[in-house]
Amino acid sequence: EIVLTQSPGTLSLSPGDRATLSCRPSQTIARSYLTWYQQKPGQAPRLLIYGASNRATGIPDRFSGSGSGTDFTLTISRLEPEDFAIYYCQQYDTSPITFGQGTRLEIK
């Protein structure tokens, strides 16, 4: 199965900062099949980005995704207080569908 490695494990930043989260698949995946989710404590995940760079409905434009192959990035341009959460990448390229282990974005 494809292993997704997310880094860093924890990212400590302040509101207004720029956040850069990495997701590296263990083998090349098609750009179309990489998604990003946000999860807050006690809540279900929320879809942020699909197809590596397409924002889901209602997602603010401070969230952007990029990358291809074995190197994908989620960027949050200016952090708002509500952005501090755990972020997961997911691949649909090859079964089984897999998630990364998550990056915790915490307030510095």
Partner 1 sequence: QVQLQESGPGLVQPSQTLSLICSVSGGSINSADYYWSWIRQHPGQGLQWIGYISYSGTTLYNPSLRSRLSISVDTSKRQFSLRLSSVTAADTAVYYCAREASYGRGADSWGQGTLVTVSS
The Cβ-side half-sphere exposure at 27, using a 13 Å CA radius, reads: 7
Q: Can you tell me which of 25, 83, 90, 105 binds partner 1, judged by CB under 8 A?
A: 90
**By CB under 8 A, is residue 37 in contact with partner 1?**
yes
**CA–CA distances in Å: residue 1 to residues 10, 55, 73, 80, 92:** 25, 26, 21, 35, 11
* Binding region for partner 1 (CB under 8 A) out of 12-20, 60-68, 69-77, 88-96: 88-96
87 token code pair: 């972020």
**Distance separating alpha carbons of residues 101 and 87, to the nearest angstrom:** 9
| Total number of residues that touch partner 1 (CB under 8 A) | 30
Q: Residue 41: what residue type?
A: P
**Is residue 56 involved in binding partner 1 (CB under 8 A)?**
yes
Least distance to partner 1, CB of residue 83, Å: 19
Can you tell me which of 35, 38, 65, 76 binds partner 1, judged by CB under 8 A? 35
Q: What distance in Å separates the CA atoms of residue 63 and residue 74, rounded to the nearest whole number?
A: 7
9 binds partner 1 (CB under 8 A): no
Interacting residues with partner 1 (CB under 8 A)? 1, 30, 32-35, 37, 43-47, 49-51, 54, 56-57, 88, 90, 92-93, 95-102
